[in-house]
Chain A
Amino acid sequence: MQPDRAETLRDAVGLGLAVGLYGVAFGAAADAAGLDVWQAVVLSAVMFTGASQFALVGVVGAGGSPLAAVGSALLLGTRNTVYGVRLVPLLRPRGPLRRAGTAHWVIDETTALSLAAPDRALAGLAFLVGGATLYLTWNATTVVGALGAAALGGTARAALDAIVPAAFLALLWPRLGGAFPEPAVQRRVALGGAVVALALTPFVPPGVQVVAAVVAVALAGRPRRAVAS
């Protein structure tokens, strides 16, 4: 096997397994929020985009309305639209069926793997192998987490209550450092979102403050002029 191909496969399987195991935390969070196992399974199988899944169960768990839960999940899902735009020229899915199937696996991780691959053929391989590994692991570990959490006692519940906010922090963290463009602006927007959400908490129905925190995006300011590269 060519070294590039072997490396692409290893990265795709490795990332798929590592992130897929995180489904345990999602299944447990879904159970803690009062969702049943089937609802957790449908979210992992159909929604299949981690941050939106965590947001939905987080808002439901906080006693939020279905509308606030759907709103926060959809707002976080908009970045997958942009990923799709970037992936089309790379993956070139032919025909409506292949396009519909490919779209289902467009998430942070498969996009990163495809864009990092050295050429188009390997990008397609990275997307397929990474997507399949992550999808299977994520769905299996969701069931494990949801069933496991249902059997927990008081102290383990307290542990789970502390794990859910930590999970959001772990999702947020890479955006605040060097891995994303303009980390200083990301930090400013994140701080703004946190302040807005806390300030609104006493006054709005649960979950609404999460959706309202999106106004903090205004702190990012105007788009920069595109830099010719």
Chain B
Amino acid sequence: MSGTWTAVLVASVGCYLLKLAGMSVPASWVEQPWVARVVDFVPAALLAALVVVQGLTSGAEIVVDGRLAGLAVAALALALRAPFIVVLLVAGAAGASVHLLTG
């Protein structure tokens, strides 16, 4: 089995078990103040890391290309409270424009 399939299956079952754990363990285990603190802030750290890794890197290098233009217009659209789908469309249009202009 390929590494990708292994990752897909292990992570899928793992994420399900994390959900099931919440419905099964005593609430006091999860409601420790420091557990709640970490869980509240993990998404911010990881999602921000994914924004820059997906937007600015290629392998081990930092690369500036149409993806950064996409992020800039996406940020503008989000600030203007545009719906998700509009944010993605304008980001895609920016990326495609840079690709066409720079060949």
Contacts and interface: CB of A to CB of B under 8 A. Distances in A.
Interface size class of A (residues with CB under 8 A): 35 or more
A202 interface: yes
A194 interface: yes
Nearest to B26: A85
Interface string B77-96: 01000011101100111111
A25 B43 contact: no
Nearest to B95: A162
Contact of B75 (A39, A76, A169, A220): A169
A83 to B, nearest CB: 6
A99 B85 CA distance: 33
The secondary-structure label for the interface of chain A is: helix
B48 A190 contact: yes
Contacts of A187: 44
11 contacts: A62-B59, A70-B14, A81-B18, A106-B22, A165-B50, A168-B50, A189-B44, A190-B44, A192-B45, A202-B60, A217-B38
The 10 closest A-B pairs by CB, nearest first: A84-B22, A162-B95, A162-B70, A166-B91, A193-B45, A158-B99, A165-B55, A213-B49, A223-B33, A197-B49
